[in-house]
Amino acid sequence: MGKDLRGKELGIGISQREDGLYVGRYTNKYGKRVQRVLPKLQEVRQWLADAQYKDEHSNIDFPEAMTVDAWFEYWIGIKKRTVRPNTVRNYTERYHRNIEPVIGKKMLGSVNTIHCQTIMNNMADEGYRTFTIYQTRIALYNMLDYAYQNDVILKNPCNKMVKSDIGKQSRKKQALTIGQQRDFCKVIIGNTYEYQYRFLLQTGLRTGEMVGLRWSDIDLDNRTITVNRTMEYRHSTKEWRVGEPKSKSGYRTIPLTDEAVEILKLQKQKNRGFKVIPMEWADIVFLCKKGTPVKNSTYGTMLFKLCDKAGIERFSMHVLRHTFATRCIEAGMKPKTLQTILGHSNIGITMNLYVHTTEEQKHKEIDLIADALKVI
């Protein structure tokens, strides 16, 4: 039991030197004596408690000398078995571009909250949008939290003090106006991918869900399609990757409009005209003239060309899904129904990301209550 300069007992493993500094000592599980000198008694007590806890609970397979780079490689290897390929790719990109330059070479146990905030601040200074900074924070938090939950580090330094809402504001997703949608639908007539673009506007599917859609997922008698997978072409490996929907709510059955049913019939007829369809793709709905699926990125490239031709601002494939959602709300569909059709995990996503009242709709709503607002 150590004592201070006045003879007061300080506790096991703590003492005070003649120069007034406090010393904390303990023997770790490997028999090595560890000590630290600090100016304040409370600091020594905190260090000693943390160090002894870490020594007692740390995993022998992950020594304190492990770098963040080494931990990331271990962690991302686990993630490859548990999350979607897109998520792994996003985590990896955010780590190498933004996280690694700041903390990659540091010892995992030495990373603190200031280091985490520095990553976010650097991204803001470099002109990143808030959404990308937020995605980086998610990757950083999950990586460090896995270490914390497995007793590799004492706490997760990427805590609530680390702010990510500091970059340039992301542009809000804007649905096509009714006029823009008409112009777009006119310009795609006769295009190779006409049916695909029209189908997205009629169903609100994600691009990967449409690419992976099979004839066996379609029930024309009951006018429904079942969404149970996504498909994406990986340019890095030059192969198709089939995966699960984005979330559990992504597994869903969607009722079809008359136009959606007609599009499917036209596509089936189109497929019959192809000379060869490899057996592995025979059940896929939307094929190109080679009898193979159309690469996801090809749709986006063609979409830009069509926007230029129609004289409207370029937009992404996701805007077609957004446009479907907006038309549904404008027509009076209940948000809960729309949530189910879109496959969102909670109603907040539906309301916050997709339902933006258009200027045209605002005027219509005001006109409906104009008489009620008159008091004279």
Look at residue 165 and tell me if it is in a domain: no
Domain limit, last residue, from 97, 128, 149 = 149
Q: Is 309 found in the same domain as 189?
A: yes
Tell whether the model's pLDDT for residue 206 goes beyond 70.
yes
Report in angstroms the alpha-carbon separations of 167 from 106, 135, 255, 300. 25, 12, 40, 26
Q: Is residue 28 one of the residues assigned to a domain?
A: yes
63 inside domain: no
Same domain, 132 and 244: no
Tell me the pLDDT band of 357, cut-offs 50, 70 and 90. low
All residues at 6 or more sequence positions from 205 whose CB lies less than 8 Å from its CB, including other chains = 199, 213, 227, 254, 321
Concatenated DSSP letters for 202-237?
A: HH---HHHHHT-BGGGEETTTTEEEE--EEEEETTT
> For position 62, what pLDDT does the model report?
54
Does residue 171 lie within any of the structural domains?
no
21 and 135 part of one domain: no
**For the ranges 52-61, 228-237, 264-273, the one whose mean pLDDT is highest:** 264-273
Q: Which domain range does residue 24 map to? A: 2-57
340 or 45, which is more confident: 340
143 and 223, same domain (yes or no): no
The answer to whether 316 touches 176, Cβ cutoff 8 Å, is no
Same domain assignment for residues 306 and 218: yes
Q: Is residue 33 in some structural domain? A: yes
**Chain-wide mean pLDDT for the chain?**
87
Task: Look at residue 231 in the predicted model and tell me its pLDDT.
Answer: 93
108 and 48 share one domain: no
Confirm whether 189 is domain-assigned.
yes
pLDDT confidence band for 190 (50 / 70 / 90):
very high
Calculate the CA 347 to chain-centre distance. Answer: 17
| Domains contained in the chain, number | 3
Q: Residues 250, 305: one domain? A: yes
Summarised one tens digit per residue, pLDDT across range 294-335 is 999 999 999 999 999 999 999 999 999 999 998 988 888 888
Instruction: Look at residue 107 and tell me if it is in a domain.
Output: yes
Comparing 11 with 318, which gets the higher pLDDT? 318
Q: pLDDT tens across 163-183, in order? A: 988 877 766 668 899 999 999
CATH number at residue 343: 1.10.443.10
Answer yes or no: is 79 within a domain.
Answer: yes
Averaged pLDDT, 352-362? 55
- Asked if residue 339 has pLDDT above 60, the reply is yes
Residue 74 has which token pair?
């271990």
- Please say if the pLDDT value at position 189 is more than 60: yes
| 45 and 99 inside one domain | no
Return the CATH number at 27.
3.30.160.60
Per-residue pLDDT of 94-110, as tens digits, reads: 999 999 999 999 999 99
Instruction: Check residue 361 and give its pLDDT.
Output: 62
pLDDT in tens, 213-263: 999 999 999 999 999 999 998 887 788 988 888 788 899 999 999 999 999
Summarised one tens digit per residue, pLDDT across range 42-55 is 888 888 887 777 67
> Is the predicted pLDDT of residue 149 greater than 90, yes or no?
no
Nearest alpha carbon to residue 246 among 216, 212, 294: 212
Mean pLDDT of 22-26: 90
Identify whether residues 353 and 208 lie together within a single domain: yes
Are 110 and 235 part of one and the same domain? no
Out of 54-58, 148-152, 194-198, 287-291, least confident range:
54-58
Structure tokens at 342: 């879109």
* 282 in the same domain as 144: no
Q: pLDDT band for position 201 (50/70/90)?
A: very high
Span 24-30, average pLDDT: 82
* Average pLDDT estimate for 189-195: 96
Quickly state the pLDDT bin for 60 (edges 50, 70, 90): very low
Tell me: do 137 and 190 sit in the same domain: no
Report how far residue 69's alpha carbon sits from residue 96's, in angstroms, rounded to the nearest whole number.
9
CA distances to 7, 57, 82, 103, 343 from 64, rounded to whole Å, are 35, 12, 26, 15, 43
**CATH classification at residue 97:** 1.10.150.130
What's the pLDDT at 207? 95
